[in-house]
A = this chain, B = another copy of it.
Amino acid sequence: MGIIIESIKIRKLKYWRFYMKKFNLAILGPMGSVGQEILKILNERNLPINQLKLLATKKYEGIEIVICGNKYTVEEITDESFNYIDILFMAVSAETSKIYTPIAVRKGVFVIDNSSAYRMDVDVPLVIPEINPDDIMENKGIIANPNCSTIIALTALNELNKFSPITKIIASTYQAVSGAGKEGVLELEEQMGKHVNGLEITPKIFTSRILHNVIPHIDNFTDNGYTLEEMKMVNESKKILHNDSIEITCTSVRVPVLRSHSISIFIETKEPILVDKAKELLSNTEGVRLMDDIDNMIYPTPLESTDKDDIFVGRVRKDIRSNGLNLWCCGDQIRKGAATNAVQIAELLISKTLHSREC
């Protein structure tokens, strides 16, 4: 992709198309979990949309989707599909993104890419709107949406990090099967049906049976023994926080939860943060809801955070070391961990442009 994208001049957001008041949006991959959620969220939020196209391969052509009283018909993707599109949500695999993103960008479309294809490219902003909104200002037509666990963890840690820079993050994740797409959900549901009926269970998309099990393996392994999923947390966090010196390590684990990822996080900060101060900061963090009242057994679980946009944080505790804190967070990885963040990026693109127009 490098060559194609790099040949395009940096586009400032005063781009001509944004002088219009309403925008033409498209979703590539509207039949997947993230694509469907983006469609839902676009209908929930008040974006200035002129037209919204759903693009997919031929096999989905003609499928009708009704959301909030609006009917959409899936169109087959062709070379002409990107004409007159302002913002394209790329809700497909990294491989597919690498095929279509350069084509869309060449046609002047802003691509918000949900895949990992361009996240670490130096000229592609990787954006969590609550954390590094200004990063979108200089781009070559692509804004990358970070990895779900990275979004969940960093959104939770944002105000703590501003108060006293985080020097170390040690994360262990508890990731839902829907992180592996609809097939992951089907696999868990199917295994549960088989178990209840006493039938034999054979894993398909997961490497082991996921019912009554946890699997310390998400995405492919890399040369250093970490998985790609774990290295996304390491590398993407540094890019989003503009901090190469932060020490991050992660163990990513699949658990038999349908939706919403949980993360057990240990952090060290430059200056110690007292628990009460940490709770105050968390309760004032944009996109975060503090659920930490152990006297009343209040702490987040993935079930409670399902279908919500907020990241839920609890179990805030001081480590033995004066500058260490433990916390537990849960977030819907399809909403804030993917679709909501992507729509927020679109809103940011639009509002920053509208704002600059008014100046």
Q: Which residues of A are in contact with B by a Cβ distance under 8 Å? A: 170, 172, 174, 192-193, 195-196, 207-209, 212-217, 221, 224-226, 234, 247-249, 251, 253, 255-258, 262, 264, 266, 275, 294-295, 297, 299-304, 314-321, 324, 326, 328
- Which B residue sits closest to A249, measured CB to CB? B319
Asked whether A262 lies within 8 Å of B318 as measured between CB atoms, the reply is no
Asked whether B213 lies within 8 Å of A302 as measured between CB atoms, the reply is yes
- Given the interface pairs A196-B192, A196-B193, A251-B326, the reply to whether A214 lies near B174 with Cβ below 8 Å is yes
- Which B residue sits closest to A295, measured CB to CB? B221
Asked whether B196 lies within 8 Å of A301 as measured between CB atoms, the reply is no
What residues of B have a CB within 8 angstroms of the CB of A299 in the complex?
216-217
Asked whether A255 lies within 8 Å of B315 as measured between CB atoms, the reply is no
- Given the interface pairs A251-B328, A315-B251, the reply to whether A294 lies near B216 with Cβ below 8 Å is no
Other A-B pairs, 16, CB within 8 Å; known A193-B196, A215-B301, A216-B328: A172-B264, A192-B192, A192-B195, A196-B196, A212-B257, A214-B255, A214-B301, A216-B314, A217-B294, A224-B318, A225-B318, A249-B266, A251-B264, A251-B326, A253-B264, A256-B257
Quickly give the copy total for this chain. 2
Asked whether B264 lies within 8 Å of A216 as measured between CB atoms, the reply is yes
Asked whether B320 lies within 8 Å of A214 as measured between CB atoms, the reply is no
What residues of B have a CB within 8 angstroms of the CB of A234 in the complex?
320
